Structure 1
Amino acid sequence: MWSRSRAFAVVAVAAIAGLGLAGCGFQPLYGSSTTTASGTRLSEAMSAVDVQPIPGRVGQKVRNELIFSNTGGAAAPTPRYQLKIALKERDIQQLVQVTGNAQGQVYQLQAKYKLTDIATGKVIHEGTAISRAPYTRFQEVFANVRARYNAEDRAAETVSQSIKSQLAAYLATT
């Protein structure tokens, strides 16, 4: 059992450590009061990113995920940035049987993006996001299609979250 003085000492040390961290300039990336270096709120800067259309079903999924996560479903303000994304899809066969049939597959989605400042027309940030989603192939055609769609959706969600995190980190520090 702890004595009162020992418990008080632990609380005092925790409080002092908390006060020490308060002045270090650390702020959570997705906090409601997080600001960019220019003084605008990060949420406002993220909602001012115009995500350009991406071809294909998976491209539409990535774009919709980014738009919704940046705006929260609200109307977007006048865009300050333009985001262009190019996707590359690939299937990797796993668990290949002696007959040559593959039961397991891994769907890989790679996204290369460029963030452009609309006012200057310059590319201010670019990067890559990659996701892999495994799925199993079955005898039934419909089951294969659904399994592949599910893997595509999971990969698209992961890639959009990665892009959002990279953009937020960039916009928060510049």
Structure 2
Amino acid sequence: MMRRLALVLALAVPLAACGLKPMYAGGAGGAIAQGLTAIDVSPIEGKSGWLMQSALTDRLGSARRSGAARYRLDVRLDDKLEGLGLLSDDTVTRERRTLRARYQLVDLATGEIVLDETVGLDAGIDVVSSEYATIAAENTALENLTKEVADRIVTRLALKLRSLDAGQR
């Protein structure tokens, strides 16, 4: 038993010295969480834009912000729906919905673009005989893609804010 404990302690010491730090240390009061709440999301056109702006605002916590915004997030979306599977009578049996987002994080104090990236995902949709079911599947795919893309954007923003915070120290 003592050997096991000694082995665990011996392995824990190098792990503690590896330099890994939790990104969201400090919870809602931590530097990264405070930095995310200081981001305003610009209006985005269309239904997919409304969904994306809502998802980003929820994930960033902008509604909880007490002071002025420090950054602005500009997002441009490209939402495509294309038919893939074709039968001999030119009937589409499968569709692919692609959602791509180009986003820029702008420092409001200097006007400098701090981050400029693109992220995108796609989803497959079965086209069935019921038009209602197909439309519902297309809408569900858009909602799910929007949430996933928003998650990826927020993760990348958090990484950028962490690197900016480390550069100020």
| Structure 1 length-normalised TM | 0.85
Q: Deviations over 1:3-33 (max 9, x none)?
A: x3xxx33332222322322233211223436
Number of equivalences: 164
Aligned: 1:116 with 2:106: yes
1:96-115 matches, within 5 Å, as 96-115=86-105
1:72 Cα deviation from its structure 2 partner: 7.7
Code of the residue aligned with 1:42 in structure 2: it is I
Aligned: 1:52 with 2:37: no
1:68 Cα deviation from its structure 2 partner: 0.8
Contact 2:38 2:62 in 1 (8 A): no
1:59 Cα deviation from its structure 2 partner: 1.0
1:145 Cα deviation from its structure 2 partner: 1.6
- In the superposition, relative to structure 1, how do residues 14 and 72 fare at CA in structure 2: closer, same or farther (>3 Å)? farther
Code of the residue aligned with 1:112 in structure 2: it is R
Divergent runs of 4+, >4 A: none
1:122 Cα deviation from its structure 2 partner: 0.8
Q: Which residue of 2 aligns with 1:91?
A: 81
Match of 1:158 among 139, 148, 160: 148
Name the CA distance, whole Å, in 1 between partners of 2:66 and 2:131. 40
Match of 2:14 among 13, 17, 20: 20
CA-atom RMSD, angstroms? 2.1
Structure 2: gaps of 5 or more residues = 165-169
Q: Which residue of 1 aligns with 2:167?
A: none
Aligned to 1:165, the other structure's residue is in SS state helix
Aligned to 2:23, the other structure's residue is in SS state coil
Match of 1:148 among 138, 159, 162: 138
Code of the residue aligned with 1:97 in structure 2: it is L
Name the CA distance, whole Å, in 2 between partners of 1:144 and 1:33. 42
1:95 Cα deviation from its structure 2 partner: 2.4
- In the superposition, relative to structure 1, how do residues 133 and 77 fare at CA in structure 2: closer, same or farther (>3 Å)? farther
Code of the residue aligned with 1:172 in structure 2: it is R
Name the CA distance, whole Å, in 1 between partners of 2:161 and 2:116. 12
Aligned: 1:71 with 2:61: yes
- In the superposition, relative to structure 1, how do residues 162 and 76 fare at CA in structure 2: closer, same or farther (>3 Å)? farther
- In the superposition, relative to structure 1, how do residues 23 and 77 fare at CA in structure 2: closer, same or farther (>3 Å)? farther
| Structure 2 length-normalised TM | 0.87
Q: Deviations over 1:29-59 (max 9, x none)?
A: 2343699xxxx61000011011111111111
Contact 2:48 2:142 in 1 (8 A): yes
- In the superposition, relative to structure 1, how do residues 93 and 31 fare at CA in structure 2: closer, same or farther (>3 Å)? farther
**Identical positions, percent:** 23
Contact 2:36 2:62 in 1 (8 A): no
